[in-house]
Amino acid sequence: MRTARKGSVEMPAFVRQLVKETEKRVSSFFKGGRGGASEGEQPGEGEKEEVIPSPYLDRPVLDKLTEEGCARWGLTYALGSMQGWRANMEDFHNCVPQLGGELAEWSFFAVFDGHAGSSVAQYCSQHLLGHILATGRDHPEKVKGAITEGFMQTDKHLHSVARREGWERGGTTVVSALISPYYIYIANCGDSRAMLCRSGQVFFSTEDHKPYCPLEKERIESAGGSVSLQRINGSLAVSRALGDFSYKGAENRTPSQQMVSPEPEVCIVERSPSDEFLVLACDGVWDTISNEELCAFIHNRLQVCTDLRDVCSQVIDLCLYKGSLDNISIILLCFPGAPQLSAVALHQEAELEDLLESKVAEIYDELSATGEEPDLLSVLTVLASTAIPGLPPGGGIQSKRNCIISAYYHQRETHQLRQTSSPEKTL
């Protein structure tokens, strides 16, 4: 189900209709005027100058890939992934809720955010876990070492494949979680991120590997590179990744000393009964929402939604309407201590949606009094400047746009029916 409300609108098709009817205006409104391919001027007819292909689309691809599952020890999970405004989908993932054999109580999950093509991300999603499991794991520190070695070996094997297939420019960031009965091993290589919620608060999150971070910048410059425009040599926006071999050619330097390092940062978190959920997501999520905001939003959504895929979809839509121009992928892992459906929260959600529907009707009628039918953007603009109590924490007005858009079209249809059913005026 979507929320407590009845009669929900099936969203991907409905949003497609929205985008088709309102063109770029609604997206521009929710994105706060951020630039992108959709806002650029098109070349005039007959112009012959060479045009560099844009990495962005004129309209976002809104179809979502979702999946869900569970492990016998109590973990439930869902994945949500969407291409969005990017010209290509370059994200891949791993969801293995139960490893085999003696690791039947272990789980592995990972998000791979590719750049300069999807080939490296796809390759790593197929091989990383195997390289990690090829090393001993009878002690937490050995498991940590096995994860690091797994990343390094994956990059080593990838190098020969990349030379053969012409993938030298391609790369991928990775954020992964290997979950044992007693520990969570979180590995991050790049600017994807993991965030653990415990007792309703952010307990742990990984640090993004960006070229301008002091230690990353020092390594880059020592390897003969530079950092400008917050990028390596003014081009690459991450300082650690698998692949990207054109940045790994410095002589007499180990793989972890290159401009782009394949070495992950691995953290060991001891599990607790207070653990609620763990999020693994690409930077298409984190570019638009903070750790604290996402923690609060998901914590709230779990009290009104029974389907974890729906929660992931709401996060994706929230990021899209808050301005994300990237591919968006999220894995949500819920532990036994995760928030449960709440009658109080469901009631509050229903009251909020009733309020939003009445506000939309009020605004629509006020704007209609001018003699012209209000468009969606006009209604949204007025509503955005209106104080609305009870909005989902961390989500704001953007997180309830489905309800708002549905209410607008209901009002428009009602208004049109009212007009057609009224007696014709005598000429």
- Give the per-residue pLDDT at 17: 42
Per-run averaged pLDDT (10 residues), the chain, 427 residues: 35 42 41 38 49 85 97 95 97 96 94 96 97 83 95 96 90 97 97 98 98 98 96 97 96 96 98 98 97 98 97 97 96 97 97 96 91 88 92 95 92 85 55
The total number of residues shown for the chain amounts to 427
pLDDT digits (tens, 9 = 90+) for 297-337: 999 999 999 999 999 999 999 999 999 999 999 999 999 99
Angstrom distance (rounded) from CA 11 to CA 299: 22
Structure tokens of 234? Answer: 């003014």
Please name the residue ranges forming H helices in 229-342. Answer: 283-286, 291-301, 308-321
Phi, psi angles (nearest 5°) of residue 278: -120, 135
Edge to edge, the sheet with strand 193-198 lists 56-70, 76-86, 328-334, 275-281, 193-198, 201-205
- Burial of 84 (C-beta count, 10 Å sphere; 0-12/13-18/19+): buried
Q: Which CATH superfamily is domain 67-339 in?
A: PPM-type phosphatase domain (3.60.40.10)
Confirm if 56 and 38 have CB atoms less than 8 A apart.
yes
Confirm if 282 and 289 have CB atoms less than 8 A apart.
no
Angstrom distance (rounded) from CA 11 to CA 4: 16
Specify the DSSP class assigned to residue 398. G
Angle between helix 140-165 and helix 119-133 axes, rounded to 10 deg: 140
Bridge partners of 189, per DSSP, are 174
First to last CA, the chain: 51
What are the residue ranges of CATH 3.60.40.10 in the chain?
Answer: 67-339
The alpha carbon of 406 is separated from its chain's Cα centroid by a whole number of angstroms, namely 24
- Burial of 279 (C-beta count, 10 Å sphere; 0-12/13-18/19+): buried
Angstrom distance (rounded) from CA 405 to CA 175: 35
